[in-house]
Amino acid sequence: MVDKIKKHGGVRAGAGRKKGSSVYGEPTKAVRIPESLLTTVTELLDYKKKQLEVDNTNFPNVYFPDFDGPVPSIPFYGASVAAGFPSPADDYIEKRLDLNELLINKPAATFFVRAEGESMLGAGIHPDDILVVDRSVHASVGKIVVCALDGELTVKRLRSKEGKLVLAPENPDYPDIPIKEEVEMVIWGVVTSVIHNV
C-alpha cells in the first residue's frame, strides 16, 4: 500500500508580503553583498528607514545620489585652462565627462550633504557647499569627516592632539571639539569632494 504524500507549501493566493509594503515603502530585491560592505549597506538601509520615519525633518540637508535617472555627460576639453597668460586652446573634445564617475568611487556608500557655517573655510568648504561623503573610506586622522554629535551633524577634520582625538575646525575662530566618552558620536563618512559655485 502506497502512503499518501501530503503536499505542503506552494503558491497560495493572497499570501506573502505585498509589493511596496516593506519598511522602505517600495518593492525590495534580494541581492548578494560582499562581506566587506555588509556593515556599510546595513547602515545605509537603516539610515534610509530612519529618514522615512522622520519625513526628512531631522537632517534636511542630506541627499542620496539618484543612480536610476539619466546620467548626463559633459564635454571635456583636452586643453588645460591657463590661469596666467592665455594660450591657444585645442579645438577638439577629448571625451565626455560623467561627473558621477569623477566624484563618486563607491555609489552604494556615497551620499551628499550641504555644509553650514564657516568653521571649515580653511579646507575650502563654504556655507551651502555640497559635500560628497563616502562611508567606505576609513576615517583616519587627518581626514575630513561628517559625524553626528548627540544627533546633530557636523563636518570637521579628525586630528590627534596630546594623544587624544578631536574634531578640529579649519578656522581659528572656532574651537576644537574633544571626543568624550559621554558624547554620542557616530562618524557617517569621509568627505572626498566639495562642490560649490564660484
Q: 75: helix, coil or strand?
A: strand
Q: Where are the alpha helices (DSSP H) in 12-160?
A: 38-54, 99-103
**Tens of pLDDT, residues 164-194:** 889 999 999 999 998 887 778 888 899 999 9
- For the chain, the domains span 35-195
Question: What are 81-95's pLDDT values in tens digits?
Answer: 556 555 555 455 566
- DSSP for 137-188, written as a single string: S---TT-EEEEEETTEEEEEEEEEETTEEEEE-SSTTS--EE--TTS-EEEE
Q: What percent of the chain has pLDDT over 90?
A: 24
Question: Is 94:76 a contact under the CB 8 Å cutoff?
Answer: yes
Domain 35-195, second-level architecture: Ribbon (2.10)
pLDDT band (50, 70, 90) for residue 54: very low
Higher pLDDT, 65 or 134: 134
pLDDT at 128 over 80: yes
Query: What pLDDT sits at residue 42?
Result: 77
Lowest mean pLDDT among 13-17, 77-81, 159-163: 77-81
Average pLDDT score over the chain: 76
Rounded to whole angstroms, how far apart are CA atoms 114 and 98?
A: 21
Q: Residue 165: what pLDDT?
A: 87
Annotated catalytic sites, by residue? 119, 156
Task: Inform me whether the pLDDT recorded for 56 exceeds 50.
Answer: no
Kindly tell me if the per-residue pLDDT of 21 is higher than 90.
no
- pTM (predicted TM-score): 0.58
Which cell goes with 11? 503558491
